[in-house]
Amino acid sequence: MRLVRGVAIALLVVALQQLACGGEVVAPSFDDAMMRLSVSQCARHERCWPDTFSTTWQSLDECASSRARRARMRLGSPYVRDAVGFAERCAAALDADGCTYGEPAACRPDTGTQPLGGFCLSGFDCAGGTCAILVSTAVTETPFCGRCSVAGPPRTAGCRDCRVGDTCIDDACRPPGKLGESCGLVGCQTDLRCVGGVCESALARGDACDPARSSCVTSDTCDPVTRTCVPRRRAALGEPCGYLGDRFVECERASVCSNDAAGTCVPRVADGQPCNLEVGPGCNDGSTCFAGVCRPISVAMCTGDS
């Protein structure tokens, strides 16, 4: 697969930085490791599921930049163990992995150092590997904060190595159903739908559909007027967004829908710039509106030390 120019240059720089003067390979920096991981995640997404990739991202560059910001947020916590090593192992596993459902075992969160009850952003922070996010219906500056909690019941012997997306049934890992296989307790693979307990193909572009059901392929949506499957479309900067007639229109990733009556796609607020938690617009991925300014998310915000 051909990488777009910006990502290709970034990967080349990372590779060169890992070579010392004598040709000895040195450990990558934290930022380099986060970019390496993000590029691998995005490249696999584009390679294996191009339809969902194209409806989520405008380019591989956009995907990698956004994911890198989120990776720095999740793995940059002081409670995470060996973030660089984890990122390198996960990236290598993603590069070598086929298009199987779920992530490789190397990409599962390592346990952190935060004890039970401590604040966390993800399972990477916690000694027990589980972060329970504190759910609130109120508008809050820290909706991403959680507490390290006791993990659920341990997996039985037959399910300890299940991939993300598998279901453990009768002491065995059950992957999502393929075309014609049964479903219900187990879901279906991407672009299949569970109908009458059997995985069936999703409706193709141009097929008749019901707007009340999610029956089109992932890259399409059911047009409420023509009642046929049509390509999803994201509004560009400056275009109308939100509920437009019977359809909800999202903005492209780099922008966000304004909160006024006539929704318009406006730029996201950069780090360090003033923001408004109530009326928006929102901050970039991996950042939040904290004390009236867009700032990178950190676990210190949860403890009040930020």
Tokens, residue 19: 């070579």
Average pLDDT over every residue of 236-264: 81
Segments making up each domain of the chain, as ranges: 1-108
Q: What is the pLDDT at residue 271?
A: 93
Taking all residues of the chain, what is their mean pLDDT, rounded to a whole number?
80
Q: How far is CA 90 from CA 41, 77, 232, 282, 292, in A?
A: 9, 18, 31, 30, 36
**Best CA proximity match to 228, nearest among 206, 204, 202:** 206
Q: How far apart are CA 176 and CA 15, in angstroms?
A: 37
Provide the whole-model pTM: 0.69
The answer, yes or no, to whether residue 157 has pLDDT greater than 80, is no
Tens digit of each residue's pLDDT (9 = 90 or more) over 113-144: 999 999 999 889 998 878 887 765 555 667 88
Q: Quick one: what percent of the chain has pLDDT higher than 70?
A: 81
pLDDT band of 151, cuts 50, 70, 90: low
Buried b (16+ CB within 10 A) or exposed e, 156-192: eeebeebbeebeeeeeebebbbeeebebeebbbebbb
**Best CA proximity match to 296, nearest among 72, 143, 31:** 72
pLDDT band of 189, cuts 50, 70, 90: confident
Q: What is the pLDDT at residue 9?
A: 47
